[in-house]
Amino acid sequence: MLNAIRHSVRVSINNVVRSFQTSASLLTEKFDHKRIPADDEGVQGEKIVDLDSALKSKQGLFPTAESDNLLFDGVPYKDLAICNIRVSHNNTIFTMTDSQGLVKMIRSCGIEGFKNTKKGTNIAAQTTAINLATKAVDRGIKTIRVRVRGLGPGRLSAVKGLQMGGLQIVSVTDNTRVSWNPPRPRKARRL
């Protein structure tokens, strides 16, 4: 019976012969979850990456005093159109403005035809963003800045939809408001 459990398999690929052996003792061996590895595999990357050299290689990653005058498609950064995205759990609202803040277009998931709980989905946000982007391209807007405010399921898909619609996004800014004095929490429920 032991010969029935223990067997040898020979595989030949391109004139290379290898044999694999399995046995019953390997099948009954259990994994020890409490075993601590000799060296922690999770922190090896910290020793390899030098943060200062990584930041020097990405010089243009953070804005400086000269960033307002950088040209994108022949337009200075400070004169680019801005797309404000207000994301909530119930809806996503897009407002396209010029550099001074004058509103040019407003679209929301409700205007696009999504109703009730479907307005708050990431698919609705992406569809609305694509429609807004195509209308902006028709008006001659090619390069924009994006400001995202709020927490909801449509945050990333809204920015992705603007790109899919044909707009070039230069910067993405998170303008989510943070309350440093939040409201008092509800009284604990008695059971």
Whether 148 is in a domain gets the answer yes
Whether 16 is in a domain gets the answer no
The reported pLDDT for the residue numbered 93 is 94
**Is 163 in a helix, a strand, or coil?**
helix
Whether 120 is in a domain gets the answer yes
Whether 140 is in a domain gets the answer yes
Whether 1 is in a domain gets the answer no
Tokens of 52: 């200062």
Tokens of 188: 């604990």
The reported pLDDT for the residue numbered 32 is 62
Whether 191 is in a domain gets the answer no
CA distances from 101 to 26, 79, 95 (A): 69, 11, 10
The reported pLDDT for the residue numbered 33 is 59
Residue keyed to tokens 């619609």: 165
Domain count, the chain: 1
The reported pLDDT for the residue numbered 131 is 94
Can you give the pTM of this predicted structure? 0.65
- Print the domain residue range for 166: 66-174
The reported pLDDT for the residue numbered 7 is 47
Q: Which among 25, 33, 34 has a CA at the least distance from the CA of 5?
A: 25
Show the low-confidence residues of the chain (pLDDT under 70): 1-52, 54-56, 58-61
The CATH number of residue 114's host domain is 3.30.420.80
The reported pLDDT for the residue numbered 75 is 87
Whether 11 is in a domain gets the answer no
Residues 6+ apart with CB under 8 A from 71: 77
Whether 48 is in a domain gets the answer no
